Amino acid sequence: MKSRPKDPRPAEFEELYQRHSREVWALAYARWLNADIAQDIMQEAFLRFWKQLQIKDGEAIVNARAWLLRVARNLAEDYAKSAFRRNGTQAPQTMNALEGRDSGPLETMEKDEMFGQIRAELNELSPTDREILTLRYALEYDTAKIAEILDINATAVHMRLSRARQRLADRLTENGVRETP
């Protein structure tokens, strides 16, 4: 019975691992300042190196150190972009149950429709009501600024705003627009 010659690659790999693993780990650690992440990146770099050695017709690695450092640098950058980094280890069901910041299509459509109705009713109000409501709600001016612009006192601004809002609310109610919860 013939024995097969021993594959020199595991010994060569082990020697390269001993020689370069600390440097590869340090590169990843310098990027993330997290020993566990650095360890994962270092191990992935060496795993890819091992796989590359196994490919018969693959690209020959001339400088193992440079190859490992380049792969580790790329892995560290890829980690920054990964969904795992952004979302963590939460189950998809947990992530799907979270409410988004944006309104859904139905809510957006309802809001757009309501604002359209409000604009239409604003056009039917008197110019003075439109002016004071626009200054307060479209331009977001405070009472003092509105009083200065209209050359009236703050009490008059409050009274005009109150009356203009009431007239707008009455018109909207007449046309079937109701408050949203």
Digits of tens for pLDDT over the chain (181 positions)?
Answer: 555 555 557 888 899 899 999 999 999 888 888 889 899 999 999 999 988 888 766 677 889 899 999 999 999 888 877 756 666 666 667 767 777 777 778 888 888 888 888 888 888 899 899 899 989 988 899 999 999 989 999 999 999 999 999 999 898 888 877 665 4
161 in Cβ contact with 133 (< 8 Å): yes
pLDDT for 111? 85
Tokens of residue 17, six digits: 């691992």
One-letter identity of residue 169:
A
24 in Cβ contact with 70 (< 8 Å): no
pLDDT for 41? 93
Write the CA distances from 75 to 9, 64, 65, 72, 138, integer angstroms.
Answer: 24, 16, 15, 5, 49
DSSP conformational letter for 137: I
Q: Which of 19, 10, 6, 25 is nearest to 63 (CA)?
A: 19
DSSP conformational letter for 134: I
156 in Cβ contact with 147 (< 8 Å): yes
Q: Which of 41, 14, 8 is nearest to 25 (CA)?
A: 41
pTM over 0.75: no
148 in Cβ contact with 98 (< 8 Å): no
Domains annotated for the chain, with CATH where assigned, are 9-84 (1.10.1740), 105-174 (1.10.10.10)
